[in-house]
Amino acid sequence: MTSANGNDMNKDILLGVMGDPIAQSKSPLMHGAALKALGIPGAYVPLHIAPDQLSQALSAIRTLGFRGVNVTIPHKVAVMEYLDKLDESAVAVGAVNTIVNDNGILTGFNTDGIGYVRSLKAEAAPDLSGARILVIGAGGAARGIVTALLQENPSAVLIANRTADKAKELAEACRGKEKASGIGMNEIGEHIGGMDIVINTTSVGMYPHIDETPIDPGLLPAGIIVSDLIYNPLRTRLLSESLKRGCRIHGGLGMFVYQGAYALEYWTGRTAPVDIMRQTILDCLGGSAE
């Protein structure tokens, strides 16, 4: 039997994640649970690939008949030159986190930004149109998030970064840039009062530096939504301080789940079992759903 895309459906589906390091990745656990829940025979394996092995690893994906892989640090940009096609999502972000193999033709996608926005809408802010959004950080993660946010018709996306020039460059590089602008972190106090949503895209506050916050929580107005991409810890110090100040909070676990859900949907054509995927990670991290 062959699927609509011509792949052999009698074989077990082979999936994986390429990174360096990779042992810490929770993707194999999450996707393993998802495949089991869907009754799809196959495996999702961690692939430890050093930067100088990337080209060979991509050839091996074709040779071994992997249906697809996720790509993580440090390969998200470097992998692009070895692919046959790039989806618009990957072009817009300038990075790939998901590869689909259609009989040897490798296509790169980026599901990080859309995964984040699906999570934000499902868990905190169903309608982003007209929202005024402050994004903290201007690195690779911010690029994907800002790109996806601008597709939701917000009224403004303000990017604040320690290095102000990088925030301005990111705003300038985005489609829909008339709504995006960049400032230095030191200017946040002048703008935060007009915001509906504040999103941390930096790694400040991630385990083991759990006492750090990317901005002074004293600046946060009550009633706004504060969102953090970090999911380890599930509740960062930024989020616990925000809660104390009367803000609504949104953690990073949903982004991880939904970026994986989109990838799984591209590989299998099936609807991803997001609740099972989320619970698998929660069980592993020893947390509870909020």
Residues that bind ligand ATR (CB under 6 A): 137-142, 161-163, 166, 201-204, 214
Q: In whole angstroms, how far apart are CA 172 and each of 159, 190, 203? A: 11, 21, 23
Contact 208, 192 (CB under 8 A): no
CA pair distance 190, 169, nearest whole angstrom:
20
Which one, 22 or 141, has the nearer CB to ligand ATR? 141
Q: Is 76 a catalytic residue?
A: yes
Nearer to ligand ATR, 153 or 163 (CB): 163
Q: Among 76, 85, 121, 179, which one carries the catalytic annotation?
A: 76
Q: Which residues of 148-171 are buried (b: 16+ CB within 10 A; e: fewer)?
A: bbbebebebbbbbbeebebbbebb
Token reading at 65: 């008949």
Shortest spacing between CB 75 and ligand ATR, in angstroms? 12
> What are the backbone dihedrals phi and psi of residue 266, each rounded to the nearest 5 degrees, phi first?
-65, -40
Rounded-to-integer distance, Cα 165 and Cα 181, Å: 11
Residues 6+ apart with CB under 8 A from 30: 256, 257, 260, 277, 280, 281
Give whichever of 48 and 166 is closer to ligand ATR, judged by the CB atom.
166
Contacts of 145 (CB under 8 A, 6+ apart): 112, 113, 116, 117, 135, 199, 201, 229
- Closest residue to ligand ATR, based on beta-carbon distance: 139
Of 32 and 94, CB closest to ligand ATR: 94
Rounded to the nearest whole angstrom, what is the least distance from the CB of residue 38 to ligand ATR in the complex? Answer: 30
Closest approach of Cβ 63 to ligand ATR, in Å? Answer: 30
Could you tell me the smallest distance in angstroms from the CB atom of residue 185 to ligand ATR? 6
Angle between the 253-268 and 27-38 helix axes, to the nearest 10 degrees? 50
**Of residues 71 and 142, the one with the C-beta less far from ligand ATR:** 142
The bridge status of strand 225-228 relative to strand 248-250 is: parallel
CB of 239 to ligand ATR, least distance (A): 17
Which residues have a catalytic role annotated? 76
